[in-house]
A and B are shown apart, each in its own frame.
Chain A
Amino acid sequence: MAIGDYPAEYNPKVHGPYDPARYYGTPDTPFSQLKLGEVTEWVGRRNKSPKAIAGLFSRAYWRWSHKYVQPKRATVAPLIHILAGSMIFFYAINYGKFVHHRNYKYH
């Protein structure tokens, strides 16, 4: 499996056209349905290779894209998402400089 290939689990004969927002492996219990004690075990089961993490972000991007960008009557929401996200991102990377502008010594 080289870069740019479909995931190994994807089989066009069964799954049809490739959906980049979809995970084609065997699904685990969704994170939102876990109990607190199962979280560490759940995280331990995850595939933490760089490729898997890149796939995670790719699927998240496509899910967001299908939800807000691709629809026929898309709104301004994705634009604001990008704007707000970039504001937070740049605030975070410049946080070391902003910290010096604090007005109070004690909080």
Chain B
Amino acid sequence: MLSRLALRSELFRVAPLCANAVRTTQTKPAVATTNESIIVPGFPKPNGQPQPNPYDGPERDLVNFPRMVRLEEPAKTRYLFVPEEWFEVFYKKTGVTGPYVLAAGVTTYLLSKEIWVVEHEFPYVLATIGLFYVGWKKFGTSLAAFLDKEIDEYEASCNAGRKSEIDGLKETIEHQKKEIWRTEAQKHVIQAKRENVALQLEAIYRERALQAYNQVKRRLDYQLDLANLTRTVQQRHMVNWIIENVLKSLTNEQEKQSFKKCMTDLQALAAKA
């Protein structure tokens, strides 16, 4: 009991309201998928699914039951209203005058036997025939032209929406074809871009290779300079050390002897000169 009350309380009404809000934002109307009540061939069902046309099945017999077509012109008639076929029935048996002879004969028979009684309303028949004849001769052509124009305009207005839509779609197709033609240029553009990128990659590669070469050369040069410097320093040190030790080992006697020797060498040189 309490749970039922709780379900009916305002707190629990929030959820259905939210569900409704979500539903109204959907693009398609929320209709049960089982609703088959509105089925018109060629139109989508309310749930948005296309529906099969019941007349386009494989068992359709188009030979004996072709599509109905509205006639452009009505069946041929003579004297405004007598079907042409009624005359053609007589032609094989009686020739072209047969139907007229029959009509005249029947009329004469009816009048002479007074089956068709000539009473006070008989002239109305003749008057009606006369009115139709005068109207036909006087207004027939112009009225027909006016009505034809009207019906043509009406049909054009009925077809205008469909026609404009077809024209629009054709225009779109043309536009799309042009766009396809245009996108062929994109192939060349992309090819050029690829080549450009390849060139850039090559340039970067070469730049980096040069950088690596330079770095290696710098390090090698450093090692070379280091080795040379070490050897120079060692050599200088050895030379200094040897000279120092030699000078240290020299005594005064030896210095005097060498000095004397130098003097004699100089005298000898002077004598030669």
Q: Which of A67-92 contact B (CB under 8 A)?
A: 67-68, 70-77, 80-81, 83-84, 87
Q: Which of B141-174 contact A (CB under 8 A)?
A: 144, 147-148, 151, 155
Interfacial chain B residues near A102, Cβ < 8 Å: 114, 117
Interfacial chain B residues near A83, Cβ < 8 Å: 128
Q: For residue B173, give the distance in angstroms from its CB to the closest CB of chain A.
A: 31
Known contacts A16-B55, A68-B74; decide if A99 and B117 are in contact (CB<8 Å).
Answer: yes
CA distance A12 to B77 in the complex (A): 34
A107 in the interface (beta carbon within 8 A): yes
CA distance A73 to B68 in the complex (A): 17
CA distance A98 to B121 in the complex (A): 10
B72–A72 touching, CB < 8 Å: yes
Interfacial chain A residues near B151, Cβ < 8 Å: 72-73
Known contacts A83-B128, A99-B117, A101-B117; decide if A77 and B70 are in contact (CB<8 Å).
Answer: no
B80–A98 touching, CB < 8 Å: no
A103 in the interface (beta carbon within 8 A): yes
CA distance A16 to B67 in the complex (A): 7
A70–B70 touching, CB < 8 Å: yes
A15–B73 touching, CB < 8 Å: no
Q: For residue A59, give the distance in angstroms from its CB to the closest CB of chain B.
A: 14
CA distance A13 to B239 in the complex (A): 123
A67–B71 touching, CB < 8 Å: yes
A13–B57 touching, CB < 8 Å: yes
Known contacts A67-B74, A83-B128, A103-B118; decide if A12 and B54 are in contact (CB<8 Å).
Answer: yes
A68–B55 touching, CB < 8 Å: no
A12–B114 touching, CB < 8 Å: no
The one of B54, B118, B136, B155 in contact with A13, judged by C-beta atoms closer than 8 angstroms, is B54
The one of B61, B75, B118, B120 in contact with A15, judged by C-beta atoms closer than 8 angstroms, is B61
A1 in the interface (beta carbon within 8 A): no
B74–A75 touching, CB < 8 Å: yes
CA distance A102 to B151 in the complex (A): 49
Interfacial chain A residues near B125, Cβ < 8 Å: 87
Q: For residue B52, give the distance in angstroms from its CB to the closest CB of chain A.
A: 11
Q: Which 9 residue pairs are nearest across A and B when measured between Cβ atoms?
A: A101-B119, A80-B81, A71-B71, A71-B74, A77-B81, A67-B75, A15-B65, A16-B55, A98-B117
What would 24 A/B residue contacts be, using CB atoms closer than 8 Å?
A12-B55, A13-B57, A17-B55, A17-B67, A19-B68, A67-B71, A67-B74, A67-B75, A68-B77, A71-B74, A72-B72, A72-B151, A73-B72, A73-B73, A73-B144, A73-B147, A76-B81, A87-B128, A98-B117, A101-B120, A102-B117, A104-B114, A107-B112, A107-B113
Beyond the given A16-B65, A67-B74, A72-B73, could you list 13 further A-B residue pairs with CB under 8 A, ordered by the A residue number?
Answer: A12-B54, A13-B54, A13-B57, A16-B67, A17-B55, A19-B68, A71-B71, A72-B151, A73-B147, A80-B80, A80-B81, A84-B81, A107-B113
Residues of B within 8 A of A (CB): 54-55, 57, 59-62, 65, 67-68, 70-75, 77, 80-81, 112-114, 117-120, 125, 128, 132, 136, 144, 147-148, 151, 155
